[in-house]
Amino acid sequence: MISSFNPELLSFASRILEKQGGLVDYRKDQLFALLPQELARSLEIPEEGHIGGTDFPLIYGSPFLDRLIEKATQGVPIVYGQIELPYLKKAGFEQLIGRDLIFADGQIRIVSRAEARTTYMVLISHYLALSDERKEGLVRLTMHEESGSLIPDFEAHLPDFQVTFFEPGKIPPHFPVRLDKVVSLSFKKAQEVTEAELAEFFKSMERRLQRDIKNTREYFQSLEKEMKTALKTGRSEAHENERKAKIKALPQELARKIEDLQHKYQIQVTITGSAALRFLVPVVQLLLQIRYRKFERTARITWNPINRRLDPIICEQCSETIQAVYPWIKDSRIFLVCQSCSKRKNM
């Protein structure tokens, strides 16, 4: 009898079951598990019982392990970490306004600075483009979790810093629970990046489509010419009528062939989240006083020690990430918007 005991698979099963709400206890070379009803049903095992024995072996290729792996990979895996810094920038922020953040109009003044901690997320998305060919790849984007702004060069500088990763169950409360806005903005940007990366692929499929349509049209034109020539051979009337009917049907058949080709080269693109890295980072927060026309407001911006730049901000109308900021008046208030939104009529 071949033993199904595998310490690595046993540890893997224990982590997954506990993460899904189960209670697990090691019993020699097996696990004793108490599972929520829904979890037990999805894994097709009892709510209470032993795992790793002959009934539910933890060996590669076993149906139970396959179901467990499927359960583990259903969600996007998330890793939490904290970036350690020896120091934070103390002064010189005025020079960064005009370089990292450009205010197109108004009077801008830094009124205070404070050290704080904020969170960033590196979201890794997988894209799959299917047509007559297949193309896939990864898009990696870093977002500021509080604002949803896209942060350039964050990952490129990460190797320069010490990162401490948190164990499950020991994650500090600084990380936002609700990330709907950030994830939505990230996937929207991932779609734009994906379209740019697939631009040549789209062009290639379009070239092949037009080539095949051209060849198909030429084939049908030659076929029609050949069939019309055959009509002059003086065959029977029945044969002649049959030929004429086939010639008449050629345009409809050509249209069907072209439709088939268009379907063949149609490109379906799917973007899914693959993984997320979330980091707690010490930063410097600056409070700005902004005066524009007769109006005044404050705004908070962040100096990011990872790329040593001021973080871009979010357009307060369309939520696009912007570095060029335009004051815009609405309801006697100043809004910080992108150039496109600034062209709307001020109210």
Nearest residue to 111 via CA among 97, 101, 125, 130: 97
Q: Is 60 a residue whose pLDDT tops 90? A: no
Kind of pairing, strands 324-330 and 78-84? Answer: unpaired
- What is the rounded CA–CA span in Å between residue 289 and residue 334? 11
> Per-residue confidence at 74, pLDDT binned at 50, 70, 90?
low
Q: What tens digit of pLDDT does each residue of 43-56 get?
A: 889 998 888 888 88
pLDDT for 13: 86
Nearest residue to 13 via CA among 54, 81, 60: 60
Q: Is 346 a residue whose pLDDT tops 60? A: no
> Per-residue confidence at 2, pLDDT binned at 50, 70, 90?
very low
Q: What are phi and psi of 97, to 5 degrees?
A: -80, 115
Q: How many CA atoms lie within 13 A of 269 on its CB side?
A: 20
Q: Is 3 a residue whose pLDDT tops 60? A: no
Kind of pairing, strands 295-304 and 107-130? Answer: unpaired
- What is the rounded CA–CA span in Å between residue 336 and residue 329? 9
180-199 average pLDDT score:
90
- Tokens describing residue 299: 């705004």
pLDDT for 81: 95
pTM of the model: 0.73
Q: Is 234 a residue whose pLDDT tops 70? A: no
Q: Which residue has the higher pLDDT, 230 or 105?
A: 105
Q: Is 266 a residue whose pLDDT tops 80? A: yes
- What is the rounded CA–CA span in Å between residue 185 and residue 286? 24
Q: What tens digit of pLDDT does each residue of 76-123 get?
A: 788 999 998 988 999 999 999 989 999 998 899 999 999 999 999 999
pLDDT for 345: 67
242-248 average pLDDT score:
86
Burial class, 111, CB count within 10 angstroms (exposed 0-12 / middle 13-18 / buried 19+)? exposed
256-270 average pLDDT score:
93
Beta strands in the chain (DSSP E): 23-27, 30-34, 48-51, 78-84, 102-103, 107-130, 134-144, 162-165, 268-292, 295-304, 309-310, 313-314, 321-322, 324-330, 333-337
Q: Is 336 a residue whose pLDDT tops 60? A: yes
65-71 average pLDDT score:
82
Question: How many residues does the structure list for the chain?
Answer: 347
187-191 average pLDDT score:
90
- What is the rounded CA–CA span in Å between residue 51 and residue 30? 6
Q: What are phi and psi of 38, to 5 degrees?
A: -65, -40
pLDDT for 156: 93
Q: What tens digit of pLDDT does each residue of 128-184 get?
A: 999 988 999 999 999 999 999 999 999 999 999 999 999 877 899 999 888 888 888
- What is the rounded CA–CA span in Å between residue 280 and residue 120? 7
Q: Is 328 a residue whose pLDDT tops 90? A: yes
- What is the rounded CA–CA span in Å between residue 313 and residue 323? 7
Average pLDDT, the chain: 89
Whether 109 contacts 289, CB under 8 Å: yes
> Per-residue confidence at 200, pLDDT binned at 50, 70, 90?
very high
253-280 average pLDDT score:
93
- What is the rounded CA–CA span in Å between residue 241 and residue 235? 10
User: Which 8-state DSSP code applies to residue 174?
Assistant: T
Nearest residue to 262 via CA among 333, 203, 210: 210
> Per-residue confidence at 260, pLDDT binned at 50, 70, 90?
very high
Any idea which residue has 């002649």 for tokens?
240
